[in-house]
Structure 1
Amino acid sequence: MKIIVESFTMDHTKVTAPFVRKCGHINTPKGDVITKFDLRFTQPNVEAMPTGAIHAIEHLMAGFFREELEDIVDISPMGCRTGFYLIKVGESTEEDVAQALMKTLQKVIDAEEVPALNPIQCGNYRDMSLFGAKEYARVVLDKLKQIYK
């Protein structure tokens, strides 16, 4: 059996980050729709976010994104550390997700602390950088504002 992983079918050398891309869509047996988005922050194979920054962004976006967009199931960092996957119930457009992402990134920039920054709530709480999270959020937000006016 050949398993196709969607992200392996995208030519990572022909995209320009940052971007928001609808990259998956399934209908459950009960008729629900699950949608997956690629929230790319840095250019693949050129730059990867350090783990402290991406980990802090993940913690911050976990709450902030849910304030901007309904029915989020999960926001997960990509193993390549160039962005995140957003999984949600229902349909949303790339434009809607991009607008929610921009509002979320502004909240990251304005944050004074990283939530769940302790050994009880996080399995690697020492590897976080609020400063790094804010720096990447600023850069990505500035670029997204040029794309999604």
Structure 2
Amino acid sequence: MTKSNVESFELDHRLVKAPYVRVAKRERLSDDVEIIKYDLRFCQPNEEHLEMPTMHSIEHMMANFMRDYTDKLIGFAPMGCQTGFYAITYNMEQDELLMALENGLNDILTATEVPAANERQCGWGASHSLEGAQEAARAYLAKKDEWLEVMA
């Protein structure tokens, strides 16, 4: 196989054990700014995935809710393989990310609606599942003690 310039393509997805939280990349922009990309894997690669309405709702809610706990979140984006998300942060070390992640997931559990799930604020406002997001958040939180165990 040819080496890729995409970090996640170099990860052997057969060897990981989801769910997990992993630092996928660090990039220093200056002496005082470092961009840190976290791989937040919800599902075991090539064995399971999140349905698109569930992913879409988690993306909306976590992009919104995590910002209640940190101002260091740049973006929260779904993986195309539908097995997890990327949290793009600046100067946000793992302990702070874990706190914001846990709090955001707990907020999903108590949510009564998906923020911005409408045609004005979203490109596919009808494609959401609050129930699916809550089920996925509950499952991810249930394995919180294993989040830092990336490899099987």
TM-score when normalising by structure 1: 0.91
* 2-structure distance, mates of 1:88, 1:147: 18
Letter in 2 for 1:100: A
RMSD of Structure 2 on Structure 1 (CA)? 1.7
**Percent identity over paired residues:** 41
Summarize the Cα distance change of 1:114–1:45 in structure 2 as closer, same or farther, 3 Å threshold: same
For residues 110 and 54 of structure 1, what CA distance do their matches in structure 2 show? 17
Question: 1:3: how far off?
Answer: 5.1
Deviations 1:114-141 (A, max 9, x none): 1111111000111100010001111111
- Counterpart position of 2:124: 124
Q: Report if aligned partners of 2:55, 2:82 keep a CA contact under 8 Å in 1.
A: yes
Higher relative contact order, structure no. (Cα contacts within 8 Å, ≥ 6 residues apart) = 2
How far residue 52 of structure 1 moved from its aligned partner, in angstroms, is: 0.4
Match of 1:104 in 2: 104
Q: Which runs of 5+ in 1 are unaligned?
A: none
SS at match of 1:26: strand
Question: 1:87, 1:147 → 2: CA distance?
Answer: 18
Aligned counterpart, 1:71: 72
Q: CA deviation at 1:96?
A: 3.1
Determine the C-alpha separation between the residues in 2 that align with 1:62 and 1:50. 18
Provide Cα deviations, 1:19-67, integer angstroms capped at 9, x if missing partner.
Answer: 1100111112575211100011111111010000010011111111111
5+ residue gaps, structure 2: none
Of 18-27 and 97-106, more deviation after overlay is shown by 97-106
- Within 5 A, what are the aligned runs for 1:43-82? 43-82=44-83
Residue identity matched to 2:79: M
Answering whether residue 137 of structure 2 is matched by residue 140 of structure 1, we say: no
1:20–1:97 contact (8 Å) kept in structure 2 = no
How far apart are residue 97 of structure 1 and its match?
Answer: 1.8
Question: Do the aligned partners of residues 26 and 59 (structure 1) sit closer, same or farther apart at CA in structure 2, a change above 3 Å counting?
Answer: same
SS in 1 for 2:89: strand
